[in-house]
Structure 1
Amino acid sequence: MDGVIGCLQGAVRNNHLVILTGLCSVEYDGRAESYLPEGERVILIKSDNSLQIHQPTGNTPVNYMKEGATHSFYEEGGNLVIRSSLEKERLLITVLKVHDLITRKLQDGQGIQLQGNEKDMSDYIYANPDVIEDGFKPLSREEHTKYGFIDVFGNDRDGNLVVVECKRFKADPSAATQLRRYVEKIKKSKGVSKVRGVLVAPKISKNGLVMLTDWGFSFKKFDPPHYLIQHKKNQAQLDLFL
């Protein structure tokens, strides 16, 4: 037990990730009071000192402490005790049996980069205007109107103004109505009587297509582009568990 306690103390002191699996009970006092009887669980202590307790199923921790918590480890009655505190919150974990203990220094400064969204669609169309039709010439992106921003604004081969509205998912009547508002606003602001509207999406509902047709607009089937994230050489690397 002394070796386990020493390992935990060193890991927390050095801001290492701790993964402990074992048979434990949990007492909590803070936002409410709770008691979780003995069961086999996963205990995570991250480098920011946040703590999570997970059961064998589900993705939500059964209990947790936020970042900045303090943790102490000691033996009591032959069991490992983990005591965590943060302001008025207290968490007491009694581990009757330790199955596995892993500690590891991890580095990861990256954030999630969303790909394949509507901005990606408009960027791709702006760079590859033939996706809309031959002769389409983009003039601007994010053209501001009273009702919002037009994804792509341009001219067709005959010089007519074209409003392109992109939708990442299936377009519905609300998307058709939004396109119509943009077209009417451009007609008024530019002082022209003819402005074409093109709705771009992976697919469109039957009612949405009927509305587009009735208003003289068109639909272009196009799936959002998906890009592989390229990692720079100086990106922090995630150590593999050994």
Structure 2
Amino acid sequence: MDLEWAIDTSGQLRWLQARPITTLPGDLNEMDTPLAGPSHVYTRCNIGEMMPGAFCPLTASVSGYAIDYAMQTTQVVARAQDSYATPWLQVGYFYGHMFLNMTEGTALSSGILGNSLEQFSMSICGRVVDELEAKPPKPFIPKLINTIRLSSHALSAGPAIRRLGDRIAAYPIPTSRDAKHVLQQLEAGVELYCYVTLVHVRSSSRAAVGANILESYLVRNAVKNGLDEHEGQAEAARLMAGAADVERHDGR
């Protein structure tokens, strides 16, 4: 075991942590999350840009959990799923890396207007993923309602962003000598981190909603003028490539 310890101001010995020796070979799949389904398609695209390297289970249990929470909450708002389910539905943790569950994401593209399996694949992977199977599309009226719900959720992110600073500033930095109390404070910090991640996803969704509407219009217009739908997609990509003030994963 690799043991770490310290002596506090009263001279008492404190064990800080104990873990297996890291130089010994280990099972890369030991901390894998369960598959959401036997035929589900996972990808490193998109999320691999935000989290390019391998990271420890502790980071996965915080950052990965928060991303999954935010994505599931967005699905619930758009009625792509009934309620928040067990963690690790929208993302997965395998071989020490984070993966997106694209199969679960297709429920959103099948349940709102102006989106499709192909558009969803292109937005995540930059290509159509042939292994993905579209979920049955919902009727027009439910699609319209879900689109309004999702758009309102995304477009109302502004006030949440403005309140974010105060919420973060109000979080108390754990200073107690009571380990149980510190753990409770850290757990509250995870809840705050989930909220911050959800606000980020809501903010990013504003651009996604606009991009889907733009692409759908240009594709229809291209087909109407006797062109291939890929011409419309290319025009949408050209216009969005020149967009300014676009939020990126690295904050620039």
Where on the TM-score scale, by shorter chain, does this alignment land: which range?
under 0.3
Which structure has more helix as a fraction of its residues?
Answer: 2
Q: Say which structure, 1 or 2, has more relative contact order (CA 8 Å, 6+ apart).
A: 2
Q: Give the TM-score normalised by structure 1.
A: 0.22
Q: Give the TM-score normalised by structure 2.
A: 0.21
Which structure has more strand as a fraction of its residues?
Answer: 1
Bigger radius of gyration: 1
